Every structure is written in structure tokens, then in C-alpha cells.
């Protein structure tokens, strides 16, 4: 016979399930202020469970007795743990050729124009918020297929999370990650693993050589000497305050060529955020000022 499930008396609230550690209001407030300061990310109160589940692993790894002790540890400024904390609290959702209309515009309109107009035969591209590398590799495929070999292509891929940057640089993925890519591109640009690497694929060296992966906090100074022809920064600023967004898009405008292009995520907009771009199509902008 199954045991009857205990119920709280009518009119009362059942107690919340006990947790290994307590995340107090003070500790949660500290974490929110920390990630806002370090990464520009604003966490709402609805993210409290996410903070607990992501950071409880760090408490266990460090052998700390409480979230309060962990917050105190962060306050010491330990660079390695600061990075671990930021990595834990950032979200990395991506896919090859995500939001395909961006890549269609790139192939059909933007690249043909750049190939006609740029006399120096050089393209500079930035994937800002590259996550585990699917976006910059998608860009690299299009560029390798459409741009003549005598052109100099510099493709920079950056992210705040050092662990996803390392994944991108390695260029190795589970086989099911490339199911949405055409057969022709899968055969041309990926190597299938064998033996212990069965079920894995690796991006061909030709594409990997096109991309420079770097960790970069978008709130920090940018070490760039030259301007970019176009920038992909998709599904990144949704985590930022409006003031941070305004400052960031101002810097993007400064970092683009005079008529350079900016691609943002499907849930993002520059409306009332920046007046230095004009909207060309769905989340595709061109610098005007």
C-alpha cells in the first residue's frame, strides 16, 4: 500500500523544502550588486532560485559553510573566484545559424556590397557575446564561402565567460549540435569523431584559423585599434539596464565603420536606446552617426 502524502491543514502554507544552505536577503542582495558591477547584468528577485542553484556548487567546491561566507570570499577580490562566479551566473544559449535571416542578409546583401566597395580587401568582424562558438563559426562558414581567398578576414569572438570561450576555441561539439546545418556544410566544415570521440564533431582547422577567441567584459575598456565592418551582439543586452545599454550601443557605434552594421537579438531593440543607427530590417541596423 502506498503511504498517504502528508498535507498541510486547510488555511495554512506548507513549509518550503529544506535546503543545504540558506540564501538570505542580504546575501542575495550582495550577489545582485556584484554581478551588476562586474558584468552589467541585472538580476530580478525572480532569479533567486537560479542564483542558489548556480552558486551552491561553488560553496561545495570551496568547502564553505554558508552563502555569507562565500560573499565574504568574493569581497577579498580573488580573481579566480570572481571569474568562476561570473561564469556561473551568465546564461549561454546558442546554436549554429541561429536567427537565420541575419545570415541570409549577410550573404545576399551586405557581403556583396562590401566586396564591391572595399578597395583594401579586408574585413573586420566581431561576434560580441560569442558563447560556445556556434555564432562565430556560422559567420566563418559564410565568409569562407563568399569572400575570395585573397581577402584578409579578421573575425574576433569574445565572451565574458572564460569557459565558453575555451569551448569555442576548441571547436568540438556533440553531433546533434549540427543537425540544423545543411549536408553540404556539414561535409565541408566538420570532421566526425571516431573511437572514443564517436558522436562528436570538430570544426575544420581552416575555419578555426579564421577566428580569434578572447575573454572580454563588455563593460571594460576595449583594446581595439581598428573599426569593424559589422558586429553581431545578439541576446546579450537583454540582461543589462537601459543606461548600460545606451552606453554600450554608443561604444558600438564608435567601434563600427561609418556605415557599419549591427546585428542584435530577436527580443532586443534600439528604440529609445540609441539614435546613431537606422533600422534596415528585423533587428538589423546600420550606423548613421
Query: Per-residue pLDDT averaged across 14-33, rounded?
Result: 81
Instruction: Answer whether 0.85 is exceeded by the pTM.
Output: no
- pLDDT of res. 10: 42
Angle (CA) 66-68-73 rounded to 5° is 100
State residue 9's pLDDT score.
41
Percent of the chain surpassing pLDDT 90: 73
Q: How many other C-beta atoms can be found within 10 angstroms of the C-beta atom of residue 263?
A: 23
pLDDT category at 84 given cuts 50, 70, 90 is confident
Which range has the worst mean pLDDT, 106-115, 139-148, 171-180, 184-193? 171-180
* Structure-derived torsion over alpha carbons of residues 14, 15, 17, 21, reported in degrees to the nearest 10: 160
Alpha-carbon span 42 to 34, nearest angstrom: 10
User: Which amino acids are annotated catalytic?
Assistant: 54, 159
- Residue 55 Cα distances to 19, 33, 82, 87, 171, angstroms: 13, 15, 12, 10, 27
* pLDDT, averaged across the chain: 90
d(CA 132, CA 118): 31
Residues facing residue 40 across a β-bridge? none
Q: Helices 48-62 and 79-89: crossing angle, nearest 10°?
A: 140
Res 163: pLDDT:
92
Residue 129's contacts (CB-CB under 8 Å, 6 or more residues apart) are 158, 159, 160, 218, 233, 234, 235, 236
E strand residue ranges, the chain: 122-128, 152-159, 172-174, 190-192, 200-203, 211-215, 228-233, 256-264, 277-281, 284-287
**C-alpha span between 76 and 129 (Å, rounded):** 28
pLDDT of residue 221: 94
Tell me the C-alpha to C-alpha distance, in Å, between residue 209 and each of 102, 170, 247: 23, 11, 32
Find, among 162, 150, 128, 163, the residue nearest to 265 by Cα: 128
Low-confidence winner among 11-15, 153-157, 161-165, 191-195 (lowest mean pLDDT): 11-15
Fold held by 25-89 = Chemotaxis Receptor Methyltransferase Cher; domain 1 (1.10.155)
Return the domain boundaries, the chain: 25-89, 100-287
The SS3 call for residue 72 is helix
Looking at 76-85, 97-106, 138-147, 271-280, which range is the least confident one? 76-85
The yes/no answer on whether domain 100-287 falls in CATH 3.60.110.10 is no
Query: What pLDDT sits at residue 11?
Result: 43
Decide whether 25-89 matches 100-287 in CATH topology.
Answer: no
Question: Among 143, 119, 128, 149, which residue's Cα sits nearest to residue 262?
Answer: 128
What was the pLDDT predicted at 91?
Answer: 66
Phi, psi of 46 (to 5 degrees): -70, -15
Element (H, E) at 289: none
Amino acid at each position: 500500500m502506498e503511504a498517504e502524502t502528508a498535507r498541510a491543514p486547510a488555511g495554512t502554507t506548507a513549509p518550503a523544502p529544506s535546503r543545504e544552505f540558506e540564501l538570505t536577503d542580504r546575501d542575495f542582495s550582495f550577489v545582485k550588486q556584484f554581478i551588476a558591477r562586474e558584468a552589467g547584468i541585472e538580476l530580478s528577485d525572480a532569479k533567486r532560485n537560479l542564483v542558489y542553484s548556480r552558486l551552491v556548487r561553488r560553496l561545495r567546491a570551496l568547502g564553505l559553510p554558508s552563502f555569507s561566507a562565500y560573499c565574504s570570499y568574493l569581497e577579498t577580490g580573488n580573481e579566480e573566484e570572481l571569474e568562476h562566479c561570473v561564469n556561473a551566473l551568465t546564461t549561454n544559449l546558442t546554436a549554429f545559424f541561429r536567427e537565420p535571416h541575419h545570415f541570409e542578409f549577410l550573404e545576399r546583401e551586405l557581403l556583396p556590397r562590401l566586396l564591391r566597395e572595399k578597395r583594401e580587401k579586408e574585413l573586420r568582424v566581431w561576434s560580441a557575446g560569442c558563447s560556445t562558438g556556434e555564432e562565430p563559426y556560422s559567420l566563418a562558414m559564410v565568409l569562407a564561402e563568399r569572400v575570395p581567398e585573397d581577402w584578409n578576414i579578421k573575425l574576433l569572438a569574445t565572451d565574458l565567460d572564460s569557459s565558453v570561450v575555451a569551448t569555442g576555441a576548441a571547436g568540438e561539439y556533440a553531433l546533434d549540435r549540427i543537425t540544423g546545418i545543411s549536408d553540404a556544410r556539414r561535409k565541408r566544415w566538420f570532421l566526425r569523431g571516431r573511437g572514443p570521440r564517436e558522436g562528436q564533431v570538430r570544426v575544420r582547422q581552416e575555419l578555426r584559423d579564421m577566428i580569434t577567441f578572447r575573454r572580454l567584459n563588455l563593460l571594460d575598456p576595449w583594446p581595439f585599434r581598428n573599426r569593424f565592418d559589422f558586429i553581431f551582439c545578439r541576446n546579450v543586452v537583454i540582461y543589462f539596464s537601459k543606461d548600460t545599454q545606451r552606453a554600450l550601443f554608443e561604444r558600438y557605434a564608435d567601434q563600427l565603420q561609418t556605415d557599419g552594421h549591427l546585428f542584435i537579438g530577436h527580443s532586443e531593440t534600439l528604440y529609445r536606446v540609441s539614435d546613431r543607427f537606422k533600422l534596415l530590417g528585423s533587428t538589423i541596423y546600420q550606423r548613421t552617426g
